[in-house]
């Protein structure tokens, strides 16, 4: 069993804080006092980094982090209206999504992705919005899969279109998939996702992904206090029986539209304790440095779960993620207010070396660590919406 609290020194629990080894005071990250402990002014520190940036090899940001993962948003549109992401009352019929001319073409995405891979990115994730609402998605997967140096290519989807798309995506070179699903209960699924379809359709999509050979299938479940806590154990049971890797995600303060409150967050330790009480767990080491999810295995050998504890145990110190928005802006943090336009130089005829230099400069200046700094002082900072830059 894993006791609550995430500070260093908890036996059997990998420390998730980003304090330098040996300097961690072991305070549980859920300690409410930590939320006001930081001076948010450090977030906007734009002092140039005095260290010289290499013109070859992977760039390092101001905290020494390399880019390893690129999340590519192919659309800002979605056929769902999840309450925590795109609440229907804000993103209604009149909401102005990006016109087609402003969205990167597949050729433009592939060209930029190849430059990121030259800079050290090994993992590509296609996301959105809902990526599968964009037409001919396999036509993007195929060339991305062919980029030399891509070790992992995956897709995050709400699962609603997988019955028809899973096989073509796998055939185009997609290797694995993550499907978001917050409950097996039909009424709760509809309420949280705002989807005009039964949960059975997503479950059928997940089955289609497995039939198509996409493996492992991971399931993302956002846990929101007062909404779907009762679904934690049923989801764990279902995923365990089916052999899917379930990842519980703490409800995050992404964007500015979801009315996030700290009280709505179910801390990871509480989630793990709930699952552990029915299906005993033990901690697993990360698959690779900087892995977003903290992993646990079932003691009886029936698979594993993960928790993504961005709120109560932030992991900015190991953050190697870059995000490319559907309109071609580079974001270096999920909570950033602004990105850097790559589409304009791309469409103005910049060559690869010029684009690479621009990306290097942005990454070299990066000092993002929003989740480490989250506090009352960060609550009202402007932030891009998550569906615009990809989860
Ligand atoms: N539409 C796709 C989907 O839902 O899987 C991909 C894009 S979605 C923005 C990517 C992931 O972000 C999903 O797993 C979703 O559950 C998660 N997400 C969205 N809003 C969130 C929030 N406020 N807190 C935590 N996770 C969130
Ligand atoms: Fe759409 Fe995904 Fe956001 Fe839900 S989480 S509204 S499915 S983009
Ligand atoms: Fe990375 Fe920003 Fe998330 Fe921290 S808050 S882990 S820097 S994306």
Nearest C-alpha to atom 4 of ligand 1 is from which residue?
158
Domain ranges, ordered by start, for the chain: 67-152+179-194+216-374
User: What b/e string do you get for 127-165 counting C-beta neighbours within 10 Å, with b at 16 or more?
Assistant: bbbbbbbbeebbebbbbbeebeebeebbbbbbbbbbbeb
In Å, what is the CA distance from 175 to each residue of 140, 155, 295, 356, 386? 14, 9, 21, 27, 24
Give SS3 for 59. coil
Q: How many CB atoms are closer than 10 A to CB 77? A: 19
In Å, what is the CA distance from 204 to each residue of 42, 90, 390? 47, 30, 24
Query: Tokens at residue 177, please?
Result: 């998939």
**pTM (predicted TM-score):** 0.88
What is the CA(44)–ligand 3 centre distance, in A?
Answer: 14
Residue 255 CA, closest ligand 1 atom number: 23
Measured from the alpha carbon of residue 291, the closest ligand is 3
Q: Which of 92, 163, 91, 170 is nearest to 137 (CA)?
A: 170
Q: Which CATH superfamily is domain 67-152+179-194+216-374 in?
A: Aldolase class I (3.20.20.70)
Measured from the alpha carbon of residue 91, the closest ligand is 2
Residue 130 CA, closest ligand 1 atom number: 1
What is the CA(387)–ligand 2 centre distance, in A?
Answer: 7
Location of structure tokens 């697993």? 284
pLDDT number for residue 51: 54
Per-residue pLDDT in tens (0 to 9) along the chain, 391 residues = 433 333 333 333 344 433 333 323 233 333 322 222 222 223 333 344 555 566 778 999 999 999 999 999 999 999 999 999 999 999 998 999 999 999 999 999 999 999 999 999 999 999 999 999 999 999 999 999 999 999 999 999 999 999 999 999 999 999 999 999 999 999 999 999 999 999 999 999 999 999 999 999 999 999 999 999 999 999 999 999 999 999 999 999 988 888 899 999 999 999 999 999 999 999 999 988 778 899 999 999 999 999 999 999 998 999 999 999 999 999 999 999 899 999 999 999 999 999 999 999 999 999 999 898 887 777 788 888 888 887 7
d(CA 163, CA 208): 5
pLDDT number for residue 128: 95
Contact 203, 193 (CB under 8 A): no
């Amino acid at each position: 069993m894993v006791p609550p609290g995430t500070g260093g020194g908890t036996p059997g629990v990998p420390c998730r804080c980003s304090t330098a080894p040996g300097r961690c005071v072991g305070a549980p990250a859920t300690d409410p006092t930590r939320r006001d402990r930081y001076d948010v002014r450090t977030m906007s520190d734009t002092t140039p980094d005095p260290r010289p940036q290499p013109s070859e090899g992977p760039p390092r940001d101001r905290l020494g982090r390399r880019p390893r993962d690129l999340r590519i948003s192919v659309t800002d549109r979605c056929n769902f209206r999840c309450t925590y992401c795109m609440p229907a009352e804000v993103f209604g019929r009149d909401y102005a999504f990006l016109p087609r001319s402003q969205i990167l073409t597949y050729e433009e995405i592939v060209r930029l992705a190849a430059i990121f891979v030259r800079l050290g990115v090994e993992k590509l994730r296609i996301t959105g919005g809902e990526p599968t609402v964009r037409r001919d998605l396999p036509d993007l997967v195929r060339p991305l899969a062919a980029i030399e140096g891509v070790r992992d290519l995956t897709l995050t989807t709400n699962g609603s279109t997988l019955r028809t798309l899973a096989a073509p995506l796998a055939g185009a070179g997609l290797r694995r998939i993550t499907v978001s699903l917050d409950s097996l209960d039909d009424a709760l699924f509809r309420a949280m996702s705002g989807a005009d379809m039964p949960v059975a359709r997503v479950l059928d999509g997940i089955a289609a992904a497995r039939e198509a050979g996409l493996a492992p299938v991971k399931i993302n479940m956002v846990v929101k206090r007062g909404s779907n806590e009762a679904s934690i154990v049923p989801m764990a049971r279902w995923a365990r029986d089916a052999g899917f890797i379930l990842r519980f995600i703490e409800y995050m303060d992404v964007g500015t539209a979801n009315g996030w409150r700290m009280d709505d967050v179910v801390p990871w330790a509480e989630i793990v304790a709930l699952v552990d009480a029915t299906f005993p767990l033990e901690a697993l080491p990360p698959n690779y440095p900087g892995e977003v999810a903290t992993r646990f295995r079932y003691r009886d050998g029936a698979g594993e779960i993960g928790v993504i504890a961005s709120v109560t145990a932030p992991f900015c110190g190991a953050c190697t993620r870059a995000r490319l928005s559907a309109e071609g802006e580079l974001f270096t943090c999920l909570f950033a207010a602004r990105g850097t336009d790559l589409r304009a130089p791309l469409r103005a005829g910049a060559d690869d070396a010029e684009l690479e230099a621009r990306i290097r400069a942005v990454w070299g200046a990066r000092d993002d660590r929003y989740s480490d700094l989250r506090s009352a002082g960060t609550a009202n900072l402007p932030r891009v919406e998550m569906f615009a830059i990809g989860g």
